[in-house]
Chains A and B, each alone.
Chain A
Amino acid sequence: MILVFVEIEGDAIKKSSQEALTYGADLASKTNDTCAAIGIGSADVLGDLGQYGAKSTFAVNGAGLDTFTPEGYSHAIHEVAHSNNANTIIVSGSYTGKSIAPKLAVKLNAALSTGVVAMVSTDAGFSVRKTCFSNKAFTRVSVNSEKKVISIVPNSYEVKAFDNHADVTVVSVDASSTIKTKSVSVDKVQGKIPLTEAELVVSAGRGLKGPENWGMIEELADVLGAATACSKPVSDMDWRPHSEHVGQTGITIKPNLYIAAGISGAIQHLAGVSSSKVICVINTDPEAPFFKAADYGIVGDAFDVIPKLIARAKELKAG
């Protein structure tokens, strides 16, 4: 059995978990296996995950599982994996997934593959493709162990619609004796698209000259339904929050569209964004290195170009 861990956000499962489920379902059909979903929470919220590829769902709850802890969740998932003889566990590379995947690998004595960006190949053994050198390259990793834990980079596997129906089995697990950490408070940025999950991203760099000029970046992001990002110096100078810093030492993203204004395209910046499907660069300097990595380029002043983009996007939106 291939067991896919799904995360619940509000009353739906997260997009990155939908991707992981599609991945699990595709892997199951490739290896003649079955794909089951596992979520921590009530059967109602998990609902029928058949449309995402699951053949069945485990809804786990019990003492110690009210809030996320790496130890509690990994314990619960392992219990179900163990009693159902799962050979592979798939998680999305969200912050939650990153905290539990290594723990599950130790518990199951499984090989751990993180940063995976494509479907498993079974051509010569079992191997996965993952990013390395912070997106400057890819590597193929052969996985030499019967049990596997695989963590998929968000936005790297497309969600498909399936025609399955997945019955929910409620499982009760008492994780209380494993708990070593406690959530004190959660501070969520309201109404914003998390950068790692965003399909469209508008980003800006030092070329914007000061934090007071980000209004137009936010406005463009807003009309396009995009998330906002920035280069490292911009967050270092506190023009923008650190959570927006993308690049080799920031967040790695791979949206469908990355618009970069006033960013030179230093190698460390490119490392974090070069997997974006379409890259548009706006820069006054025709020699800016970013143009070499771009699909579309505008040699021009961001203060002149961005308002034009906003105006056109608004026009189209209004129909």
Chain B
Amino acid sequence: MNILVCLSAVPDTTTKITFTDNDTKFNTDGVQFIINPYDELALTKALEITEANGGEVTVISVGEASIDPVIRKALAIGAHKAVRIDTAAKDGMHVAQSIKQAIEGQSYDLILTGRESIDYNGGQVAGLLSELMDMSLVNVVTSIEIDGSSVTAVRDIDGGRETVSASMPCVLSAQKELCEPRIPNMRGIMQARTKPLEVVAPSGDYTQTDYVGYELPPAKEGVKLIDAANAEELIDLLRSEKKLL
């Protein structure tokens, strides 16, 4: 069982978001980058699957050399090898096309991604890859089980869950609850230093979109405090001031 895990390096969840260059660029100054939390789940699940069924886990990421520590962490968690496509990720299509080109000629039974990255929140890569590579797709999954040549997965749907059986090769995107993310141990960290991290040149520019500007949400006007003794007033205020309820 060969599994490819698509990994994105994202700002740590505690990052205070600011912008530079007249609000046209994300300010990475002092920002700590981590494995996208959903990708961490995808990686852990991939390891669990190969431990049970044999096989190898390759992580792949589109990004510049600055993200190597994040990729090394994935190797420390247990991935067997890593590939970095040496270009800054521009949009979902750029990432998916770059990955497709980079793995040309290799065959994977499963491709796992996170359900979205927590920086640009596109939620695009799994679906794009499935279409580009003509693989089956089960998006936003909380459970994956391998039975022979097919996969059974549980995916989120609006207001519930659906169990889906999919042919392999299959692309699945990880949702919370899929597994508990693994933390690298000392041995893993030592081993990661010598595991292969192949750097490949970008194959082209596939972008069709351009991030031209950023803004922060408008600040709240300030909180209106209601005395706890008359808490019920809140309901009346929501009606009279906000026309709610």
Whole-angstrom distance between the alpha carbons of A70 and B122 in the complex?
17
Q: Is B17 part of the contact surface with A, judged by Cβ < 8 Å?
A: yes
Stretch at the interface among A29-37, A167-175, A189-197: A189-197
**Chain B residues whose C-beta falls within 8 Å of the C-beta of A94 in the assembled complex:** 158
Contact A142/B228 with A133-B119, A185-B162 known, Cβ cut-off 8 Å? no
How many residues of B are in contact with the other chain, CB < 8 A? 81
A137 contacts B164, C-beta separation under 8 Å: no
Q: Is B156 part of the contact surface with A, judged by Cβ < 8 Å?
A: yes
Partner of A99 from B139, B207, B220 at Cβ < 8 Å: B139
Contact A133/B165 with A139-B211, A309-B235 known, Cβ cut-off 8 Å? no
Q: Which residue of A lies closest to B216 (CB)?
A: A137
**Chain B residues whose C-beta falls within 8 Å of the C-beta of A309 in the assembled complex:** 231-232, 234-235
A142 CB to closest chain B CB (Å) equals: 5
**Chain B residues whose C-beta falls within 8 Å of the C-beta of A131 in the assembled complex:** 121
How many residues of A are in contact with the other chain, CB < 8 A? 97
Contact A144/B209 with A98-B123, A295-B220, A316-B245 known, Cβ cut-off 8 Å? yes
A133 CB to closest chain B CB (Å) equals: 5
Whole-angstrom distance between the alpha carbons of A295 and B156 in the complex?
32
Whole-angstrom distance between the alpha carbons of A313 and B207 in the complex?
51
Contact A304/B231 with A242-B176, A312-B236 known, Cβ cut-off 8 Å? yes
B235 contacts A313, C-beta separation under 8 Å: yes
B121 contacts A132, C-beta separation under 8 Å: yes
Give the contacts of B189-208 with A (CB-CB under 8 A). Answer: 207-208
**Chain B residues whose C-beta falls within 8 Å of the C-beta of A103 in the assembled complex:** 127-128, 130-131, 137
**Chain B residues whose C-beta falls within 8 Å of the C-beta of A237 in the assembled complex:** none
Q: Is A245 part of the contact surface with B, judged by Cβ < 8 Å?
A: yes
**Chain A residues whose C-beta falls within 8 Å of the C-beta of B183 in the assembled complex:** none
Q: Is B244 part of the contact surface with A, judged by Cβ < 8 Å?
A: yes
A298 contacts B234, C-beta separation under 8 Å: yes
Question: A interface, by DSSP: helix, strand, loop or mixed?
Answer: mixed
Whole-angstrom distance between the alpha carbons of A187 and B238 in the complex?
35
Contact A308/B231 with A242-B177, A245-B176 known, Cβ cut-off 8 Å? yes
**Chain B residues whose C-beta falls within 8 Å of the C-beta of A308 in the assembled complex:** 231-232
Q: Mark A158-200, 1 if CB is under 8 A from B, else 0.
A: 0000000000000000000000111111111100111011001
Q: Is A84 part of the contact surface with B, judged by Cβ < 8 Å?
A: no
B245 contacts A189, C-beta separation under 8 Å: no
Stretch at the interface among A19-27, A38-46, A53-61, A111-119: A111-119
Partner of B245 from A16, A101, A113, A224 at Cβ < 8 Å: A224
B222 CB to closest chain A CB (Å) equals: 9
Whole-angstrom distance between the alpha carbons of A278 and B234 in the complex?
12
**Chain B residues whose C-beta falls within 8 Å of the C-beta of A293 in the assembled complex:** 220
**Chain A residues whose C-beta falls within 8 Å of the C-beta of B224 in the assembled complex:** 295-297
A242 contacts B208, C-beta separation under 8 Å: no
Whole-angstrom distance between the alpha carbons of A278 and B224 in the complex?
11
**Chain B residues whose C-beta falls within 8 Å of the C-beta of A279 in the assembled complex:** 220
User: Which among A103, A143, A180, A183 has the highest number of chain B CB atoms within 10 Å?
Assistant: A180
Give the contacts of A95-112 with B (CB-CB under 8 A). Answer: 95-96, 98-103, 105-107, 110-112
B130 CB to closest chain A CB (Å) equals: 7
Whole-angstrom distance between the alpha carbons of A107 and B132 in the complex?
9
B14 contacts A268, C-beta separation under 8 Å: yes
Q: Mark A277-319, 1 if CB is under 8 A from B, else 0.
A: 1111110000000011111111111001100110111001000
**Chain A residues whose C-beta falls within 8 Å of the C-beta of B163 in the assembled complex:** 183-187
> Residues of B at under 8 Å CB distance from A?
11, 13-17, 19, 37-38, 91-93, 96, 118-128, 130-132, 135-140, 142, 152, 155-167, 170, 176-177, 207-217, 220-221, 223-228, 231-232, 234-239, 242, 244-245
Give 7 pairs: A residue, B residue, CB < 8 Å, sorted on A: A107-B131, A112-B124, A114-B123, A132-B119, A138-B215, A294-B223, A316-B236
3 A-B pairs with the lowest CB-CB distances in the bound complex, closest first: A102-B127, A300-B228, A111-B208
> Residues of A at under 8 Å CB distance from B?
9, 14, 16, 70-71, 74, 94-96, 98-103, 105-107, 110-115, 127, 130-145, 180-189, 192-194, 196-197, 200, 224, 242-243, 245, 248-250, 252, 256-257, 267-268, 271, 274-275, 277-282, 291-301, 304-305, 308-309, 311-313, 316
Additional pairs, 10, CB under 8 Å, beyond known A103-B128, A137-B19, A141-B211: A95-B155, A98-B127, A98-B139, A99-B139, A115-B122, A137-B215, A181-B136, A181-B138, A188-B157, A200-B245
